[in-house]
Structure 1
Amino acid sequence: MSVASIGEIVWVIGIIAWYVIRYPFERRAKRVRVMSSRRSASDTIGLAAALAGLAILPGLYVATGIPAFADYTGRPWSVGLGGVIFALALWTFRRTHKELGRNWSISLEIREKHQLICGGPYALVRHPMYTSFLLMGVGQLFLLSNWVAGLVGVLGFAVLFFLRVSKEERLMLEFFGPEYRAYMDRTKRIIPYIY
């Protein structure tokens, strides 16, 4: 078995694990009433870009080998590093969902009895879910020995992040006011102590 094939297998296992983590929280969230929704076309575009870049397009590459022109020789260090980064992404993703609990939503929504969460990964960054997506994209870049399939994850994340994060923060400021402003002052957006 080639190093590139091992990277693809690790990526597939990571995507399955991502869905296994997300599914129960998605089911539970549907039972909690939405008090305010800011769904928009840009929200849908961002989610679609992330899904395409982190799952659909690399999945097509793994299944078909297309686009073969962008293939390069896989290296053990790259697959190892990609696996560690992807595992860290999954750990962050799970911790984020656990901390959010009933507050979690796939789109920009305030749920009944919504609370500001500041513990766990939220003590370090305001948007650890986005941190997990960034880590997934970087892990994918190292796992898949194809420039196109590797890069689309980071690009899909970037579209989602830049279309949504400011809107999300405005919604939190509207709902939580000075409490969220103070939280913003003591945390970074997605990279602890940096950004």
Structure 2
Amino acid sequence: MSIAAIGKALWVLGVVAWYLIRRPYERRAKRVQIVSHRRSLSEKVGLAAALIGLGIVPGFHVATGIPQAADYPARAWAVAIGAIAFVGAMWVFRRTHKALGRNWSITLEIRDRHELVSNGPYAFVRHPMYTSFLLMGIGQAFLLSNWVGGLAGLVGFAILFFLRVNEEERMMMETFGPQYRAYMEKTKRIIPYIY
């Protein structure tokens, strides 16, 4: 098996792991009443960009090899870095879902008896789910030796992040007020101690 094929196989395994982590929380979330939400066009565009960049474009490349003109030689060290980043992404992703519990949702929603979560990965950053998506994008860039398929994840993440994070923080401020402001002062957005 070539190094490029190993990178593609590891990417597929990472996406399967992502789905297996997400699915039970998605099913449970349907049973908890939504009190308010911020579904908007910009949020839909951000979620679509993340799906396209972290799923559809790389999946199409892995399945077909297209666009072959954007391929470059795969390197074992790059695949190793990509695998480490993807494992880190799945670890953060799992811990984030576990910490959120019944508060989790795919869209910007406040649920019945919603609580401000500040434990687990939330003790370090306000948006660890975005941290996991950033790590997935980095992992994808190293695992897939194709400029389009590899970098699509970082583009998708960036669009999601910049279209959604400010609105998410506004919603949390309106819901939790001074408690969320104090939490913001203690934590960074997605990279501990940096940003």
Amino acid at match of 1:45: V
Match of 1:121 in 2: 121
> What's the secondary structure of 1:107's corresponding residue?
coil
> What's the secondary structure of 1:110's corresponding residue?
strand
* 1:186 matched to 2:191: no
> What's the secondary structure of 2:36's corresponding residue?
strand
Match of 1:171 in 2: 171
* 1:64 matched to 2:64: yes
**CA deviation vs aligned residue, 1:94-148 (integer Å, no higher than 9, x gap):** 0000000000010010000000000010000000000000000000000001011
Match of 1:145 in 2: 145
Amino acid at match of 2:119: G
> What's the secondary structure of 1:36's corresponding residue?
strand
Amino acid at match of 1:95: R
> What's the secondary structure of 1:35's corresponding residue?
strand
* 1:161 matched to 2:169: no
Match of 1:24 in 2: 24
Amino acid at match of 1:180: Y
State TM-score, norm by structure 2. 1.00
Measure, in 2, the Cα distance between the counterparts of 1:62 and 1:171: 38
**CA deviation vs aligned residue, 1:131-173 (integer Å, no higher than 9, x gap):** 0000000000000010111111000000000000000000000
Amino acid at match of 2:75: R
Alignment of 1:82-93 (within 5 A): 82-93=82-93
> What's the secondary structure of 2:138's corresponding residue?
helix
Using the TM superposition, give the Cα deviation of residue 45 of structure 1 relative to its aligned residue in structure 2, in angstroms. 0.5
Runs ≥4 in structure 1, deviation > 3 angstroms?
Answer: none
RMSD: 0.3
> What's the secondary structure of 1:11's corresponding residue?
helix
Match of 1:96 in 2: 96
State TM-score, norm by structure 1. 1.00
Measure, in 2, the Cα distance between the counterparts of 1:102 and 1:6: 37
> What's the secondary structure of 2:43's corresponding residue?
helix
Match of 1:81 in 2: 81
Match of 1:108 in 2: 108
Measure, in 1, the Cα distance between the counterparts of 2:171 and 2:18: 27
